[in-house]
Structure 1
Amino acid sequence: MTATVFRRVRVLRGYRFELVKLVSQWRIRLLGLVCWTAPGLFVAAVSRQSTLPVDTLFGRWMHATGWAGPLVMLGFAGTWALPLMISVVAGDVFAAEDRLGTWRHLLVAVRSPRRIFVAKSLASLSVILLLVAGLAVSSVAGGILAVGDQPLVGLDGHLLPPADAAARVLLAWVCVLAPVLALAAIGLLGSVALGRSPMGLLLPALVALALQLAQMLPLPVAARLALPGYAFVAWNRLFSSPAGAGPLLIAVVISLVWAVTATGLAYRLFVRRDFTDLSFDGSRRRAAMGLLSLAGLLVVTVGVVAMGTGATGSGIDQDKVQRSVATAFGHLYRLQTAQLHRPDVTEAQLRPTAACSRGGGRLEPRGPGNDWRCVVTWHLPGTEAAGSATYQLDLAPDGRYMADGDGPKEVNGYFLVRTATGDAPNPLWQFDGTVALLPTTPKG
């Protein structure tokens, strides 16, 4: 009599099986339909409106170029869409087997908890990447079809040619894949450790919400950069010249470290699980240990970032704000000059400078706040008198700010300028900018 030889199912076959299981669910199909259609329709509709989301980064340029829409969508996705989407996919991929009571059947078929973990993780990651691709492709298509392939105004006021804008938009979407992987790994950890508990499903969304709230607080810059969700906002530095890649690279690396650590914790919990316990409803103790491990990782990364960058305090000071505002004003002044068909000038000829203070000079000029006031001064060739314009700044803790023109009216006091072809949006009325949080000179 010949003994029967049982072979374990290969990972690739298990991956295909888990992928089919995921895409056969109605909620995953609905998510796919929404991600591949809704962003394009939204961007196209908003770009045609007379009122634009000027309180959103790049929202004020949606009428001028199709490359602004994907960035507006990226900001919204990083805040709400991506965390919820990850919760639905990664937060439920293991817990679903607990609800249905199918672990015994799956183990008999596959005969390897390790391969089950790898197959489920890869399948959920594939679905998440497909949904992210849908958000990006749909929003780009909607913007280009509705507005066109026009230059994009960067966060320091300079014009990005269409090809350059397209490359940076693509790179921004690629960079946010790092925090997406981190949240997906946290979702896997919650799904493994908490079983049928709804908290496992909600864990990625709750962690993302906590990270967003932390970014709104006046944290030290080292702690801000060490948060795994910072890459959701750090991509904006790609749209300044020169591109501030330092904080973005740090944010991407931190997110990937979190992704590897959380996945490793989930794997360890899964392969040590007792699948003979049919009443298993998650291990709160193991979940707590996993969260404590991630908290320890945060402490370590804060220390590494602080020592490696020399960053202290909020990273926002008077000199940085003045340089950023003066640079953006110089670029946008040239844009307004072209609108009005005046003789072109260069930034070197304008020599723009900014004098900024907080609270009317009563507060120390550093840190975030909505009480910054800047007076920009510039010079025109052939004239001795200097021009000046006033801006009120709302400066966020992550270094992004909105400058609101406060006169004179002919420069920045009105949202339209009168051109030869009719009224056009005034680029100097309001503009967005960003302050580099890391030191601009090497430490020591």
Structure 2
Amino acid sequence: MSAGPEAHPALLRNGYRFELLKLLSQWRIRIVFLACLIAPGGFVAVVGQQSSLPADTVFGRWMHETGWAGPLVALFAVSVAVVAATTSASSSGVERAKVDRSLATAYAHIYRLQTRELHRPDVTEAQLRTSASCDKGGAPVADSGPGNDWRCVVHWHIPGATVTGYAIYQLDINPDGRYVADGDGPVSVNGFFQVHTPHGDTPNPLWQFDGLVDLLDTPPKG
């Protein structure tokens, strides 16, 4: 069995990129939060100067029919808008193509680790030709944004084998790109937390593992 590749420290620029992304994401949320504090007061002040409210608009009918005070309705309307803006800002960058690439790369790394644990012939990541196809929440939902409703299928190839291997994962992705991949079968691959080795049972690295979606990653051209 050939020796595995030597481990190298992560490139410094990758760390800078990740930290810069976190700072930019925090500033977006801070700006939205500031708008949440300022906008309601300004909006209520404008509404308060009106002597009457339009009855032929959704907002005007809402005011007349409910009997709510103008400031309360204004605050509610602005709060709904701010929540929607915050959700949109925090979910940017998590896209299907990026999730596919991240999971395929992480799986290839960990598959080789499991191969060594089981004392099987070593394979390179290039030989595995690992790919992943992910979907978020089924057909009605856009395949973007964080959440625990990502479902992915990973495929890989073993040199000399005629059958393509596959594994299913449920992903819980955070807004910063970090995720947990939870194995969902087959049992022989990732469906159990232990694997049998010549030296006894050991944890199965493919059962559950952490990963990171590169939010600054751009899809390859061509």
Asked if Structure 1 and Structure 2 have the same fold, meaning a TM-score greater than 0.5 normalized by the shorter chain, the answer is: yes
Q: Equivalent of 2:108, from 330, 333, 337?
A: 330
> How far has the Cα of 1:245 moved from its partner?
2.8
- Does 1:246 find its partner at 2:17? yes
2: CA distance between counterparts of 1:392 and 1:385? 23
Question: Quick check: 2:118–2:197 contact (8 Å CA) kept in 1?
Answer: yes
2:163 maps to a residue whose letter is: A
Distance 1:321 1:244, change over 3 A: farther
2:63 is matched with none
Of Structure 1 and Structure 2, which has the larger fraction of its residues in strand? Answer: 2
TM-score w.r.t. length of structure 1: 0.32
Distance 1:408 1:315, change over 3 A: same
Q: Equivalent of 2:146, from 359, 363, 368?
A: 368
> Identity over the aligned pairs, expressed in percent?
55
Distance 1:254 1:349, change over 3 A: closer
2: CA distance between counterparts of 1:253 and 1:372? 25
Alignment of 1:28-427 (within 5 A): 160=7, 164=9, 243-249=14-20, 251=22, 314-427=92-205
2:207 is matched with 429
> How far has the Cα of 1:383 moved from its partner?
1.2
Structure 2 stretches of 5 or more lacking a match? 36-88
Question: Quick check: 1:374–1:391 contact (8 Å CA) kept in 2?
Answer: yes
Q: What CA deviation, in whole Å up to 9, does each residue of 1:56-100 have, x standing for no partner?
A: xxxxxxxxxxxxxxxxxxxxxxxxxxxxxxxxxxxxxxxxxxxxx
Distance 1:330 1:250, change over 3 A: closer
Question: Quick check: 2:91–2:175 contact (8 Å CA) kept in 1?
Answer: no
Distance 1:416 1:244, change over 3 A: same
Q: What CA deviation, in whole Å up to 9, does each residue of 1:24-53 have, x standing for no partner?
A: xxxxxxxxxxxxxxxxxxxxxxxxxxxxxx
TM-score w.r.t. length of structure 2: 0.62
Cα RMSD for the two superposed structures: 3.4
> How far has the Cα of 1:397 moved from its partner?
1.4
Distance 1:395 1:410, change over 3 A: same
1:247 maps to a residue whose letter is: F
2:86 is matched with none
Q: What CA deviation, in whole Å up to 9, does each residue of 1:162-187 have, x standing for no partner?
A: xx4xxxxxxxxxxxxxxxxxxxxxxx
Structure 1 stretches of 5 or more lacking a match? 1-157, 165-237, 256-291, 297-310
1:440 is matched with 218
Q: What CA deviation, in whole Å up to 9, does each residue of 1:210-265 have, x standing for no partner?
A: xxxxxxxxxxxxxxxxxxxxxxxxxxxx6x9983531314657999xxxxxxxxxx
Query: Matched residue of 1:360: which SS?
Result: coil
Distance 1:417 1:313, change over 3 A: closer
Question: Quick check: 1:244–1:436 contact (8 Å CA) kept in 2?
Answer: no
2: CA distance between counterparts of 1:402 and 1:318? 16
Question: Quick check: 1:357–1:373 contact (8 Å CA) kept in 2?
Answer: yes
2:154 maps to a residue whose letter is: V
Question: Quick check: 1:325–1:433 contact (8 Å CA) kept in 2?
Answer: yes
Question: Quick check: 1:358–1:365 contact (8 Å CA) kept in 2?
Answer: yes
1:338 maps to a residue whose letter is: R
Distance 1:322 1:441, change over 3 A: closer
Give the number of aligned pairs. Answer: 159
Distance 1:434 1:159, change over 3 A: farther
> How far has the Cα of 1:398 moved from its partner?
1.5
1: CA distance between counterparts of 2:90 and 2:175? 14
Distance 1:344 1:241, change over 3 A: farther
Query: Matched residue of 1:384: which SS?
Result: coil
